[in-house]
Amino acid sequence: MVKSTETVDENNQTGPHFNFDNSFARSLEGFFVSCKAEPSVAPKLLQFNPALAEELGLDPVALDSEAGLAIFSGNVTPDGSEPLAQAYAGHQFGGFAPKLGDGRALLLGEVIDTQQRRRDIQLKGSGRTPFSRGGDGKAALGPVLREYLVAEGMHALGVPTTRALAAVTTGRAVYRETSLPGAILTRVASSHIRVGTFQFGAARGDTDKVRELADYAIARHYPDTANAENPYLAFFEAVVNAQAALVASWMNVGFIHGVMNTDNMTISGETIDYGPCAFMDTYARDTVFSSIDRQGRYAYANQPAILPWNLTRLAETLIRFVDPDKDKAIEILTDKVHRITPLYETYWLAGMRSKIGLSTEDPLDSKLINDLLRMMEEEHADFTLVFRRLSQALRGDSETVRNLFEEPAAFDEWEQRWKKRLEQDGTEAEVRAQAMDRVNPIYIPRNHKVEEALSAAVNQADMMPFTKLLAVLTHPFEEVAGCEAYAEPAPVTDIPYQTFCGT
């Protein structure tokens, strides 16, 4: 493993060393503006992720220090970094905004990790940039910690996602409805290129620039597609594949992203932008948590339909590269767009099959799964716990899952059908139960637990609840004695849970 070493700078101070290689800055002029972070006044390192630092080929000890804090707080630009704010556009709730961009984020640079993957290191909440418009460029502590928890939790659940390397407080207040402690998240992504980045180039009518971006994205994310007969079409298909798999994995864990605007959908297929997201407790298809999603555009069950809508916006930017004959290009891309939903359904069904313990395929599986979901909705059952406790039914205890349904008897007929199907599937019960426990988490970021952790951190400067919750969420499939409270849904109240954009 290549480890970073400490370097001595001109002031004779030792500091953590990043081996930055800034291909975005080198290759994509016009898609960014160079700028600097606003200094923090009294920065404090609240959370650091040494395992991720190792994975990135960085020295965790050198980073978990005053010198690391100086970097994570924006006070020192590390050697080799060429900080920049990326430009992008995007459809926000269906309406097009031609100029968004990093209004409160700064790309420090790219590092090549220990697996030879190129990863972006970005500060989020580091102050104003030329894209800030009316915003202050800052982030409040609560949303920064929320993104840390949920991103790391998603990673542990096996969902592709950006990661959290560090969270610091800046010592500055940020003003939202009240004055709040300011904070910066250091985010790691396989890149920050979005559907909206392509839309930015296309909206400016600069074909050469869009082609440069596509070539860059191909080389960085889907190098094999460069050898295809039609590389840009193959690239589109690769993005479709990654995003279809991603949304299926969200659906399989009950995750609601909340703001699936095209500027928040990555070309890599990683989940990004943990503003108003949340996990569903009781299964309800129309669940919406975000206070600004008044029409429920991004409700749980709408996510698979938004997927092709967003990808169609990407397709529109690629038309002229797919075929010189515009009509033919549109015909070819339209055909690909029509295949998105069936592809998504294949991923979804594969995920659901493994959640109910099936390792073979039967044409009736889809009905079996949908019947379970329908019953869960009618009987107000908890999404995560039903799937987790199904394995107990294979170990001879059906009561624990049965009792999750308001009318427990509703489960019995389905259980019989399921068990019959399992007989046809083969496999010994305990082996199957263990396989199910590896795909059905017991711990997810439950909203009340997340709020409890954030509120202790923000109002009492107490990081203990956050630390405990993070520890639980990083091993979501392993039941731990004493952690029962983390597995339980929130006590039912009349006030629906609401999230805010975290700006």
Active site members: 263
CA atoms within a 13 Å half-sphere pointing along the CA-CB vector of 100: 20
Q: How many residues does the chain have?
A: 503
Tokens found for residue 371? 């019947």
103 binds, among ligand AMP, Mg ion, none (CB under 5 to 8 A by kind): ligand AMP
Q: Where are the alpha helices (DSSP H) in 165-230?
A: 195-203, 207-221
Smallest separation (angstroms) from Mg ion to the CB of 272: 7
- Rg from Cα positions in the chain: 23
136 binds, among ligand AMP, Mg ion, none (CB under 5 to 8 A by kind): ligand AMP
Q: Is residue 110 classed as helix, strand or coil in its secondary structure?
A: strand
Q: Is residue 172 classed as helix, strand or coil in its secondary structure?
A: strand
382 binds, among Mg ion, ligand AMP, none (CB under 5 to 8 A by kind): none
CA–CA separation, 264 vs 241, rounded Å? 17
CA–CA distances in Å: residue 191 to residues 125, 150, 222 = 18, 19, 12
Smallest separation (angstroms) from ligand AMP to the CB of 292: 9
Residue 266: strand pairing partners: 194
Query: Of 135 and 296, which has the nearer Cβ to ligand AMP?
Result: 135
Candidates 80-88, 206-214, 256-264, 312-320: pick the segment binding Mg ion (CB under 5 A).
256-264
Query: Of 20 and 131, which has the nearer Cβ to Mg ion?
Result: 131
Contacts of 365 (CB under 8 A, 6+ apart): 349, 352, 353, 358, 421
Query: Of 152 and 273, which has the nearer Cβ to Mg ion?
Result: 273
290 binds, among Mg ion, ligand AMP, none (CB under 5 to 8 A by kind): none
CA–CA separation, 212 vs 499, rounded Å? 38
| Number of Cβ atoms within 10 Å of the Cβ of 175 | 11
CA–CA separation, 191 vs 236, rounded Å? 17
Query: Of 273 and 437, which has the nearer Cβ to Mg ion?
Result: 273
Smallest separation (angstroms) from ligand AMP to the CB of 276: 8
137 binds, among Mg ion, ligand AMP, none (CB under 5 to 8 A by kind): ligand AMP
What is the maximum alpha-carbon separation in the chain?
A: 74
Smallest separation (angstroms) from ligand AMP to the CB of 175: 10
CA–CA separation, 81 vs 87, rounded Å? 18
427 binds, among Mg ion, ligand AMP, none (CB under 5 to 8 A by kind): none
Query: Of 264 and 302, which has the nearer Cβ to Mg ion?
Result: 264
The helix or strand, by DSSP H or E, that contains position 7, with its residue range, turns out to be: strand 7-8
The helix or strand, by DSSP H or E, that contains position 47, with its residue range, turns out to be: strand 44-48
Binding residues for ligand AMP, rule: CB under 6 A, are 100-104, 131-132, 135-138, 259, 263-264, 273, 275, 501, 503
Smallest separation (angstroms) from ligand AMP to the CB of 199: 13
Smallest separation (angstroms) from ligand AMP to the CB of 44: 21
Query: Of 261 and 398, which has the nearer Cβ to Mg ion?
Result: 261
* Residues 257-296: x where in contact with Mg ion by CB under 5 A, - otherwise, as a string: -------x--------x-----------------------
Residues of this chain that interact with Mg ion (CB under 5 A) are 264, 273
